[in-house]
Amino acid sequence: MALVSAKEMLTKAKAGHYAVGQFNINNLEWTKCVLQTAQEMNAPVILGVSEGAGKYMCGFKTVADMTKAMIDSLGITVPVALHLDHGTYEGAKACIEAGFSSIMFDGSHYPIDENVEKTRELVAICESKGMSIEAEVGSIGGEEDGVIGMGECADPDECKKVAELGVTMLAAGIGNIHGKYPENWPGLRFDVLAAIQEKTGVMPLVLHGGTGIPADQIRKAISLGVSKINVNTECQLAFAAATRTYIEEGKDLQGKGFDPRKLLAPGCEAIKQTVREKIELFGSADKA
Ligand code: 13P
C-alpha cells in the first residue's frame, strides 16, 4: 500500500473516539519495528520524522524511499502516513519534495500573524498534493540545556483561527512536554483542552509528548477530542534499557552475540512492545 495522507485515518479516529499513534523513527530498525507492529495490530499508523532524524538518516528522500520500499517488501496493508515532525518552513517544503505524505509546520515561535500566513501557504500546497498538514499553537515544553520548560498553553481563539486555515490536524499546548515529565508536573490542562475542542469542533487535535502521560489522562484527552498522540522518547528508553541488559549480561561476548542483528534484537523487541501497548491504550487496534 502506498503512503497515505493522515486525513482519513484522523477523521475516523475523531469520530470513533480513539487516537492514532505517531511513533517517531530514527533508523531502519525503528521503521521496521513500528510498521510490523501496526500491521500485527491492524492499526493505522503515523511515522514521525524530526528534522534531526531526517538528517541522521541521510536526508528526507532516503527516509521516504526506504519507508516506501519497506512497506512494499514487508507487505504492509494498514494505512501509513510518513509525517515531518516539528518542521520548519524550509523543512516542510523539502519533505513535500521528497515524497512524504504529511507534514507538520511548527510556526508556534512566530508571532501569530506570521504563523497564520506561512501555514496558509503550506496548506494550499498540501491540498494540491493530497497531503495532510499539522499546525501548532502554544508551545510544547521540554528539556533544553538541562532545564525542563513547562511550555505555554494554547489560546483557544488562536486555535480556532489556525484551524480555519484548513489544516488537517492541530497541535495545541495543554501543559504537555517532550521527554520525561518532571516529578512536580501538574498534569494536562483539561480545561484548556475542552475550550479548544469547543472552538475547533471536528478538527482532530494532536497531543505531543506522549511519553510518560498516565493512562487515565490519555483516555480523558481522547474523550476531549485528541485523535493523534505522538510518542518518541518512550521507544528510545525501552530500546536503550533492553540493549543495556543484553550487554550487561555479557551476551555480546557469547558466540556471535556481537552480530548487530543479534545485538539490536532485544531493543527492537522492546520498541515493538512499547508500540503495542500504546496502540492498545489509544484504542486504534483493528481500526485499519
Ligand atoms: P515524547 O518524546 O515526549 O514522547 O514526545 C514525542 C513528540 O511529541 C514528538 O513530536
Q: Of all atoms in ligand 1, which is nearest to the CA of residue 210?
A: 4
User: Of 193, 191, 157, 187, whose CA–CA distance to 173 is shortest?
Assistant: 193
Cα 179 to ligand 1 centre (Å): 6
Q: Of all atoms in ligand 1, which is nearest to the CA of residue 234?
A: 4
Cα 238 to ligand 1 centre (Å): 14
Pocket of ligand 1 (CB under 6 A): 24, 48, 85-86, 178-179, 208-211, 230-234
pLDDT in tens, 227-264: 999 999 999 999 999 999 999 999 999 999 999 999 99
- Does residue 144 register a pLDDT over 70? no
Cα 24 to ligand 1 centre (Å): 8
pLDDT band at 148 (very low <50, low <70, confident <90, very high): low
pLDDT band at 285 (very low <50, low <70, confident <90, very high): very high
> What pLDDT does residue 228 have?
98
- Domains of the chain with CATH codes: 7-233+271-282 (3.20.20.70)
- Does residue 202 register a pLDDT over 70? yes
- The model carries a pTM of 0.96
Q: Choose the residue to mutate in 144, 231, 239, 278 for probing ligand 1, maximizing ligand atoms within 8 Å of C-beta.
A: 231
List C-alpha distances in Å: 44 to 7, 88, 91, 143, 262: 11, 26, 25, 30, 29
pLDDT in tens, 100-141: 999 999 887 888 888 889 999 999 999 999 999 999 988 787
Q: Residue with C-alpha cell 512499547?
A: 274
Q: Of all atoms in ligand 1, which is nearest to the CA of residue 207?
A: 8
Query: Who's near 89: CB < 8 A, 6+ residues apart?
Result: 105, 107, 118, 122
> What pLDDT does residue 147 have?
64
Please identify every residue annotated as catalytic.
Answer: 85
